[in-house]
Chains A and B, each alone.
Chain A
């Protein structure tokens, strides 16, 4: 089975711009979660989508949004970029069950640099 794929792998943007990141989950997985990883804060949960619906959201401003398509692929959008948004953005896919044993598998991430 192919793993989780993310595109693009690297992005450079300037402050004020917006960006869209894409994630394709493992075949058969219906849940996609997004995380922001920075050296200072570590891995922080952004949101999770299941069956095209946002099922849970972390503590990030409204500039961060996402969506999921019928094929479970997901996109994440960040508007009005700030320098502090520079980070590695990881998506993780899982079967999407509500049991805590549902295992998440991470993609390689998109490295976003905001200048």
Chain B
């Protein structure tokens, strides 16, 4: 079952913050975040494993709440280069690495100058 991402789309001014959520009805073991710009391949951002881990990459960070089966991606002081579609990919708890990632439908992020 697909993770549910929210919001579906968001428009920000440069410098504003954004939060993108990814929820699953199934237990999660890991959450993978990707960003895809129009006409390009999805680019890996970060992976979070169970345990409430939080990771960061420059001004982009994420958290993973295993109990709530939810992950959130935080974009701080957004830059024009952050524009794109953000996908979360989930591994089900019962699956192993052999299971394919199940992706949410994506969140379209537009950063305006």
A→B interface (CB under 8 Å):
4, 33, 35, 41-48, 50, 55-56, 58, 90, 96-109
CA distance A76 to B98 in the complex (A): 18
CA distance A5 to B106 in the complex (A): 24
Are the CB atoms of A42 and B105 closer together than 8 Å?
yes
Residues of B within 8 A of A96 (CB): 97
Closest A residue to B85 using CB positions: A42
Residues of A within 8 A of B105 (CB): 41-42
Are the CB atoms of B47 and A103 closer together than 8 Å?
yes
User: How many residues of B are counted as interface, with CB atoms below 8 angstroms from the partner's CB atoms?
Assistant: 27
Closest A residue to B40 using CB positions: A108
Are the CB atoms of B41 and A109 closer together than 8 Å?
yes
Distance in angstroms from A90 CB to nearest chain B CB is 7
Q: Beyond A107-B41, A109-B41: 16 further Cβ-contacts under 8 Å? A: A35-B103, A42-B103, A42-B104, A43-B89, A45-B101, A45-B102, A47-B100, A55-B98, A56-B98, A56-B99, A98-B98, A99-B96, A101-B47, A103-B44, A104-B44, A106-B41
